Amino acid sequence: MKKIFFLTVVYCSLLISCKNNSDGKKLSYDGKILTEQLTQREFDYSKAKEELNRERTDSRIPFTMNFYGCLGKPVLKAEGNNDVYVMLDSGSTRNWFYYSLLEKINVTEDDFIQKVVEYIKQNELELIKNHPSEKEVAQYLKNEWSNYNLNYLASVSFGDISLRYDPNVSETFDGVIGAEFLLNYDRVTIDFINQYIILNDEKLDGAALKMYQSPNDEFDIYFEYRGQPEFGMIDTGNYGFTPRHNFGDRNQQYDINDYSNYGYGYKDKVPITPRVMYSYNDIKIGEVIYNNMNGAYSTIKGSGFNKGAQSHMMKLNGLGNVFFYNHIIQFDFVDMQFIIK
């Protein structure tokens, strides 16, 4: 059984890791109000600490949906005394950590860079040829950390889990665990009712849907809208519903194997839609039917999505936690099924 988080940083693991049922309603610019608008739920920051400190085992870990700055998304606390918090984001390919984690373990960024440089000198000979001095290597690292495809040069480990450094993100939590984490286990159950994550769980007794895994490790399913099939990504890092553009037009064109057009470096212009939400009826996932489901396009002004992500989500529906708050879901990697109960 793998342990989820053992708070000992291991430097030697520095690895090179259609508008439909209503007219649009205006969205708030206040983050908490916006979340509550799109999820039709209320959140309470004061509950987070108590929820995170509940009983846990190596395979059954509590989470909170009330974490400040991360409402409506599952946030876990790492084992140990450093109060390290990570968000479980099935829509993220990699595991990431932010500068705040270095601060909590009393490591400066300069010291961290030096450890990475020492590793590179011993293991990345081609890189050393092009950047012979330590100063050049350090500068190269700082430049490449902004490139999501190349910042695998620096990571830290928590037990069996490796997280890559992203210095460009500042959040109230310290990192993200995504598909890279989930794929360590045969089955991962997310119990939104009791707010627990169960690793290597027994198969869940619920409605099972075929799950598709993209080359970039996104997890997609077919669902229904007004009796017609739609394709969407299961995204626990999204508290709401982000319908694709022209949702429901029966002409979804998305190639799960062609991720090159949707990467973070995608430069084409992305249209900005009004900062409004729409309400949808007759959405069905498994045996669950949803009505009055609020949704907002990923490209609303101020959404925070970069152009690559926006281009991706214009063609692919984002099925966030608003669909799962009252349910238990499971990623079954043995039978490649998504199960909802």
Q: Where are the domains of the chain?
A: 11-181, 203-340
Mean pLDDT of the chain: 81
Statement: residue 3 has pLDDT above 90 = no
Among 302, 57, 337, 127, which Cα is nearest to 222's? Answer: 337
Residue located via tokens 């889990």 = 161
Report the range out of 19-23, 123-127, 243-247, 333-337 with the highest average pLDDT: 333-337
Q: Which two tokens stand for residue 212?
A: 């598709």
Candidate from 59-68, 74-83, 194-203, 297-306 with smallest mean pLDDT:
297-306
Task: Determine what percent of the chain is predicted with pLDDT higher than 90.
Answer: 42
Q: Where are the alpha helices (DSSP H) in 214-338?
A: 307-313
| Structure-token pair, residue 271 | 């249209």
**Residue 261 CB coordination number (10 Å):** 12
pLDDT of residue 261: 57
Predicted pLDDT at 303: 63
pTM: 0.84
Q: How many residues does the chain have?
A: 341
Element (H, E) at 128: helix 125-130
Q: Give the tokens for residue 311.
A: 């281009």
Yes or no: is domain 203-340 CATH 2.40.70.10?
Answer: yes
Place of tokens 């400040």: 68
**38, 184 in Cβ contact below 8 A?**
no
